[in-house]
């Protein structure tokens, strides 16, 4: 009987030690957006938050121009849920990325305008949303798109 109890206790201990540790709540948000110039090689570096990535494919997707990043800036903010929201002047979309395996993986492309690009877009934190301002328009975003509250 002792052997069975010892075996059961050992199995429970093994399963308990293998369970994942979760620390919550967690807030990943940046208090303000970061406006970053794209360098001549297409790289963007946000030193304050230790983030860097190459934006060539983003500009190619948005503009169809392989050199569309030259002398441009990107606007980047990280929401409460840890997703990165990225857009730029004359963009028609906001791109939502998630950090995965040493890369930024596109989670969603939120269409803002199908005709002309946004002029002077800006992000603000409005937990639990990210607010996008452009022209006289304000919309609330989450990783899935424009929220009902933000329409």
Does the pLDDT of residue 150 top 80, yes or no?
no
- The label of the residue with tokens 């004359």 reads 90
pTM: 0.85
Decide: 48 and 141 in contact? Cβ < 8 Å.
no
pLDDT tens digit string along 2-21? Answer: 666 666 665 655 555 567 88
pLDDT of residue 102: 93
Span 92-133, pLDDT tens digits: 999 999 999 999 999 999 999 988 999 999 999 999 999 999
Can you name the residues that pair with 30 across neighbouring β-strands?
none
- pLDDT over threshold 70, residue 23: yes
Looking at residue 17, its pLDDT comes to 57
Please name the helix (run of DSSP H) or strand (run of DSSP E) that holds residue 11, with its range, or none: helix 2-18
Residue 97 and residue 104 in contact, taking contact as beta carbons nearer than 8 Å: yes
């Amino acid at each position: 009987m002792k052997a069975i109890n010892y075996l059961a206790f050992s199995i429970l201990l093994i399963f308990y030690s293998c369970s994942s540790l979760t620390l919550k709540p967690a807030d990943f948000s940046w208090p303000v957006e970061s406006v970053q110039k794209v360098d001549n090689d297409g790289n963007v570096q946000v030193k304050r938050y230790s983030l860097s990535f190459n934006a060539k494919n983003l500009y190619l997707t948005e503009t169809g121009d392989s050199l569309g990043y030259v002398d441009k800036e990107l606007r980047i903010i990280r929401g409460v849920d840890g997703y990165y929201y990225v857009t730029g002047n004359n963009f028609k979309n906001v791109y939502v990325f998630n950090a995965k395996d040493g890369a930024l993986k596109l989670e969603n492309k939120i269409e803002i305008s199908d005709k002309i690009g946004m002029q002077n877009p800006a992000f603000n934190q409005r937990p639990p949303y990210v607010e996008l301002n452009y022209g006289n328009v304000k919309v609330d975003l989450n990783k899935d798109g424009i929220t009902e509250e933000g329409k």
